[in-house]
């Protein structure tokens, strides 16, 4: 989503999280840059490359290894994962709405009206029909 079209969403209580950081139970996908910064600043072993070539944070004791003391230990860092920044509103990889289970976020369980706000999000350019060239056939 471009800076010109930034959407504003209701604030969520992410840091510190009153919902035991339920979204952190799975670890997260990282860009190459985020993975490199995490390793450079926090040491090896916190991130890994999957067999599909995707960087992810490790999970220990049912939480992302970066979760400490009620929140993400890199929440205020430049390399805070883009997936985490946009969750549960937007999908950082597509730029469109997050299309998976938003109730992973405890705030969505506590405030079901947030689900309707999230469902109303439209991907960039949705609703605008693409211009199609029409081939005309002349009758002989």
pTM: 0.75
pLDDT at 123: 66
pLDDT at 128: 43
> Nearest Cα to 33, choosing from 92, 87, 90?
92
Q: Can you give the residue ranges of every domain in the chain?
A: 14-119
Q: What is the CB neighbour count within 10 angstroms for residue 111?
A: 13
In this structure, are residues 23 and 104 in contact, taking their beta carbons and an 8 Å threshold? yes
pLDDT along the chain (140 residues), means of 10: 59 82 90 97 96 96 90 92 91 87 87 88 57 45
Q: Please give the DSSP secondary-structure letter assigned to residue 3.
A: G
């Amino acid at each position: 989503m471009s800076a010109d079209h930034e959407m504003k969403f209701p604030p969520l209580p992410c840091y510190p999280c009153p919902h035991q950081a339920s979204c952190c139970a799975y670890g997260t996908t990282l860009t190459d840059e985020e993975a490199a910064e995490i390793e450079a600043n926090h040491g090896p072993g916190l991130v890994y490359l999957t067999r599909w070539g995707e960087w992810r944070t490790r999970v220990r004791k049912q939480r992302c290894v970066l979760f400490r003391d009620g929140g993400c230990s890199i929440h205020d860092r430049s390399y805070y994962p883009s997936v985490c920044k946009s969750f549960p509103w937007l999908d950082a990889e597509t730029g469109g709405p997050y299309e998976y289970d938003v109730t992973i976020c405890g705030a969505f369980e506590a405030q079901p009206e947030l689900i309707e706000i999230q469902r109303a999000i439209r991907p960039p350019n949705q609703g605008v029909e693409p211009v199609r060239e029409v081939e005309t056939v002349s009758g002989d």
